[in-house]
């Protein structure tokens, strides 16, 4: 029974009883005082007067004490409910923090741990007992510690949450782990800074995968370059003068497309990958010459019309060979530009080129660029007098590109365009 009473009568409920008791005490004291201030000496009459005007003041006092006690009771109950709700909310909050995969930690203004979840222990490899109160400098590399200090200081001064901070930490076993951290400021009820809270994500495996991916891409890039160079060398074996020509062609082509990348019309088309692809693939432009017989390919004199028709076939032979290789790959590859260049680097803007007589912008940009580089290199091998004449006539590809011109004229008065 006593336990039941203790359960039911809370501090708030007892306030009403206290109010009634206070009213009763007031009533008794007033009655005792009345014994000495009135001609009536009957204590019973003083406690329980028969006249309504004499008892009315005591009823008012009783009501006032009861109302006051009820208000106190309500206030206490409200505070109790709010406290219980806060405790439940905090319990849920802490439970969520404990269960999330990301590390959550709170540190004081000196950087010492005051709270953290299990994920922080997992990332750092320390037990909860070891980590509690530990300073972040103990497990952070010096360079990362200096960077963290700058970021924490910025958060402290501005009160704004930091951006993503890349952090390098050393776990208990001495291994290095990489995390991404976001930090915000903690304040007390008066708004004064008390510490920092932060979310940390372990990105070690992701960075490791990215590193492996980059290494694989580099290997593939090197393999691609080696493949292209190996194919291009086939034509060099047939014509010993071709090797240096190939090296110059790809350098010229790279210079041209780099300059063209600054033009608004090509801004979104000529990317870094495009520049690299055309640099690598431009040396395949004459790969089809491996299929031309020596009597024609290596003839020292002028070719007759029949022999020139045979030479023209090198564009189709080279393009078909690269197209066949590309079809085996089964997706867009680095050979796309090589194929375009091999097929169309002898097409001309006015449609008088070969093999298909393409005209204007129907000629792929890659083929147009290599055609310019090819012609420039061919004329650049002439004597100094001829080179000066070419420069004078504005045939220099460098001046042409820098002036953002649409094309230039070669000695045959054929207009070449980008």
CA distance 340 to 370: 10
- Residue 30 — very low, low, confident or very high, per pLDDT cuts 50/70/90? low
Q: What is the pLDDT of residue 315?
A: 92
Ranking 35-44, 105-114, 258-267 by mean pLDDT, the lowest is 35-44
| Helix 242-260 and helix 204-238, axial crossing angle in degrees, nearest 10 | 130
pLDDT at 268 over 70: yes
For 77, 87, 395, the CA distances from 83, given in Å and listed in that order, are 10, 6, 86
CA distance 148 to 158: 15
Q: Which run of H or E residues covers position 242? A: helix 242-260
| Portion of the chain with pLDDT greater than 90, in percent | 17
The predicted model gives 203-213 an average pLDDT of 85
Span 71-88, pLDDT tens digits: 666 677 777 777 776 666
Span 346-402, pLDDT tens digits: 999 999 999 999 999 999 999 999 999 988 887 776 544 454 454 445 444 444 444
Which tokens hold the place of 414? 């054929």
Tokens 């924490």 correspond to what residue? 152
**Among candidate residues 182, 49, 160, 31, the one with its CA nearest the CA of residue 104:** 182
Cα 141 from chain centre: 23
CA distance 114 to 105: 8
Among 59-73, 137-151, 282-296, 340-354, top mean pLDDT goes to: 340-354
pTM of the model: 0.49
pLDDT at 167 over 70: yes
SS3 for 333-373, per residue? Answer: CCHHHHHHHHHHCCCCCCCCCCCCCCCHHHCCHHHHHHHHH
Helix, strand or coil for residue 139? Answer: coil
The predicted model gives 44-65 an average pLDDT of 57
pLDDT at 163 over 80: yes
CA distance 142 to 417: 57
Mean pLDDT of the chain: 76
CB 281 within 8 A of CB 334: yes
Q: What is the pLDDT of residue 346?
A: 92
CB 19 within 8 A of CB 65: yes
Burial of 235 (0-12, 13-18, 19+ CB in 10 A): buried
Which tokens hold the place of 86? 């806060």
Helix, strand or coil for residue 151? Answer: helix
């Amino acid at each position: 029974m006593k336990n039941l009473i203790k359960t039911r009568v809370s501090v708030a409920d007892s306030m009403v009883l206290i109010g009634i008791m206070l009213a009763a005490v007031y009533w008794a004291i007033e009655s005792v005082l009345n014994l000495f201030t009135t001609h009536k000496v009957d204590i019973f009459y003083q406690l329980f007067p028969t006249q309504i005007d004499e008892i009315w003041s005591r009823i008012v006092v009783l009501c006032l004490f009861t109302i006051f006690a009820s208000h106190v009771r309500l206030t206490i109950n409200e505070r109790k409910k709010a406290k219980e709700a806060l405790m439940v909310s905090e319990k849920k909050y802490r439970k969520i923090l404990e269960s999330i995969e990301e590390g959550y930690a709170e540190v004081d203004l000196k950087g010492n741990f005051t709270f953290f979840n299990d994920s922080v222990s997992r990332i750092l490899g320390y037990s909860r007992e070891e980590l509690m109160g530990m300073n972040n400098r103990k497990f952070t590399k010096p360079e990362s510690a200096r960077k963290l200090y700058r970021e924490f200081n910025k958060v402290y001064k501005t009160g704004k949450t930091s951006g993503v901070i890349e952090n390098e930490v050393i776990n208990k076993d001495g291994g290095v782990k990489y995390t991404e951290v976001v930090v915000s400021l903690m304040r007390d009820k008066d708004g004064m800074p008390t510490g920092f809270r932060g979310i940390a994500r372990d990105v070690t495996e992701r960075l490791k995968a990215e590193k492996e991916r980059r290494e694989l891409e580099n290997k593939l890039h090197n393999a691609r370059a080696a493949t292209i160079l190996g194919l291009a060398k086939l034509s060099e074996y047939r014509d010993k003068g071709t090797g240096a020509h190939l090296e110059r062609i790809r350098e010229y082509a790279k210079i041209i497309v780099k300059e063209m990348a600054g033009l608004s019309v090509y801004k979104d088309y000529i990317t870094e990958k495009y520049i690299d692809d055309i640099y690598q693939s431009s040396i395949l432009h004459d790969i089809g010459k491996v299929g031309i017989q020596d009597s024609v390919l290596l003839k020292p004199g002028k070719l007759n019309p029949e022999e020139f028709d045979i030479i023209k076939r090198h564009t189709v032979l080279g393009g078909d060979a690269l197209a066949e290789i590309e079809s085996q790959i089964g997706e867009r590859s680095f050979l796309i530009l090589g194929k375009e260049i091999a097929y169309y680097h002898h097409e001309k803007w006015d449609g008088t080129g070969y093999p298909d007589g393409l005209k204007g912008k129907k000629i792929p940009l890659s083929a147009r660029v290599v055609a310019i580089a090819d012609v420039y290199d061919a004329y650049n091998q002439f004597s100094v007098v001829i080179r000066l004449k070419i420069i004078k006539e504005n045939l220099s590809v460098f001046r042409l590109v820098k002036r953002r011109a649409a094309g230039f004229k070669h000695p045959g008065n054929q207009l070449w365009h980008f």
